[in-house]
Amino acid sequence: MTAQRTPLILDVDTGIDDALALLYACASPDAELVAVTALAGNATADNTERNTRAVLEAAGRGDIDVAVGRPMPLLRALEITPETHGPRGLGYSDPPEPRRPRSGAYAPQVIVDAARARPGEITLVTLGPLTNLAVAILMEPALPRLLRRWIAMGGAFRVPGNTTPVAEWNIHCDPEAARIALRVWTTAIEADPGVPRALLMGLDVTERAQLMPAHLDALAARAGDAANGPLMTLTRDALRFYFEFHAKYDGFYGAHVHDPLVVAAALDPSLVRAEPAAVDVDASGGPGDGQTIADWRHVGGAIANADVAVEVDAAAFIERLIERVGALAVARALA
């Protein structure tokens, strides 16, 4: 029996964990990768776009066009994080120039066009700042009704931030864009309660997905003779940088693999448990700037616009990541 496939658009700022998310999606028989869009975040837009094409090519999906969006946040100066993801975004990995040329398409337009063409079918998974989504919404305010769902890696709700004491990186980079997206979702749900709430997967759950050296060994074992092939070499070199970063700043030699967890949950919602809340973003520029504010008790009277992930089956996800990416490495070696 053929697994039912979930149509996905992945909006990425490819860094290391975005690269793993792309590999996971390409390795998943239950994923239909409709489009991939890129933007600045972990690295500049030029680098994230190139990284995305390189990872897709390593995964055997060089046929996918990668549309890039704005090279800057909506209103703020660009911030990138070479200390976390390396000088170009893929740690110690430096894959060859992708064969597929850079696309001339504009990422927000790609998102809008795909949603219009397949209303109610596509899940949009945002793994970086929300700039592309905000621009897409400004182009097509009906986007919340046209998508099957929006799922985001972003925010810190009942845990501290990883960029400021209260802010997670993706929201911190463009809080105005995040605020636009969440408020438009609120408006859409108020007008039509049948519009699905966003699923927000913040640090509360994504930091529980820790990939450790033993997991990387298991991935290499699953890959077998393909363990030294291009896909596994890219993965290993990227993760070594990520492991060193976490050892320096977080006290463990391993990595929080935020983004592939979010893709896995988009394909299998049973991996997470979420609670509805009215969520807004502080864009004041003050001490709370970039904070995702969840009204859990609905004391403010606002309608719930999001389901916020509060629990995750991280062990099941890691097992699935090892199996799927390892099998993809084998398949690529045989191609």
DSSP 2-24: PPPPEEEEEEE--SHHHHHHHHH
Q: Which of 218, 151, 148, 153 is nearest to 17 (CA)?
A: 153
Cβ–Cβ < 8 Å for 128, 42: yes
pLDDT value at position 3?
A: 61
Q: SS3 of 152, please?
A: strand
Tell me: pLDDT of 1 over 60: no
End-to-end C-alpha distance for the chain, whole angstroms: 24
Instruction: Give backbone dihedrals phi and psi of 274, rounded to 5 degrees, phi first.
Output: -130, 160
Average pLDDT, the chain: 97
Handedness of CA 291, 297, 299, 304 (dihedral sign): positive
E strand or H helix that includes residue 280: strand 272-281
Mean pLDDT (whole number) for 261-268 = 98
pLDDT value at position 218?
A: 98
Percent of the chain, pLDDT > 90? 96
Mean pLDDT (whole number) for 154-163 = 98
The domain spans of the chain are 6-334
Scored b (16 or more CB within 10 A) or e, 19-29 reads: bbbbbbbbbbe
Mean pLDDT (whole number) for 134-163 = 98
Tell me: pLDDT of 139 over 60: yes
Mean pLDDT (whole number) for 237-249 = 97
Tell me the pairing of strands 292-295 and 6-12: unpaired
The strand pairing partners of 7, in sequence order, are 32
Mean pLDDT (whole number) for 111-134 = 98
Cα dist from 75 to 70, 130, 306, 322, whole Å: 11, 12, 24, 39
Q: Quick one: pLDDT band at residue 309, thresholds 50, 70, 90?
A: very high
DSSP for 45-80, please give it.
Answer: HHHHHHHHHHHHHHTT-TTS-EEE--SS-SSS----
What's the rounded Cα separation, in Å, for the pair 151 and 56?
21
Own/partner contacts of 143-146, CB < 8 Å, gap of 24 or more, are 143/111, 143/112, 143/115, 143/184, 144/184, 144/185, 144/188, 144/189, 144/195, 145/119, 145/188, 145/192, 145/195, 146/115, 146/116, 146/119, 146/120
Q: What fold does the segment set 6-334 form as a domain?
A: Inosine-uridine Nucleoside N-ribohydrolase; Chain A (3.90.245)
Instruction: Give backbone dihedrals phi and psi of 201, rounded to 5 degrees, phi first.
Output: -115, 100
pLDDT tens sequence across 276-302? 999 999 999 999 999 999 999 888 788
Instruction: Give backbone dihedrals phi and psi of 2, rounded to 5 degrees, phi first.
Output: -80, 130
Instruction: Give backbone dihedrals phi and psi of 133, rounded to 5 degrees, phi first.
Output: -65, -45
Measured in whole angstroms, the distance separating CA 183 from the mean position of its chain's CA atoms is 20
Q: Which residues contact 48 (CB under 8 A, 6 or more apart)?
A: 12, 13, 14, 15, 18, 38, 39, 40, 41, 42, 68, 89, 128
pLDDT tens sequence across 195-227? 999 999 999 999 999 999 999 999 999 999 999
Residues designated as active site:
258
What's the rounded Cα separation, in Å, for the pair 186 and 296?
15
pLDDT value at position 315?
A: 98
pLDDT value at position 166?
A: 98
What's the rounded Cα separation, in Å, for the pair 171 and 104?
27
Tell me: pLDDT of 2 over 70: no
Q: Which of 207, 211, 78, 189 is nearest to 143 (CA)?
A: 189
Residue 191 has a CB neighbour count (10 Å cut-off) of 11
pLDDT tens sequence across 14-66? 999 999 999 999 999 999 999 999 999 999 999 999 999 999 999 999 999 99
Tell which wins on pLDDT, 3 or 187. 187
Percent of the chain, pLDDT > 70? 99
pLDDT tens sequence across 62-115? 999 999 999 999 999 999 999 999 999 999 999 999 999 999 999 999 999 999
What's the rounded Cα separation, in Å, for the pair 231 and 331?
10
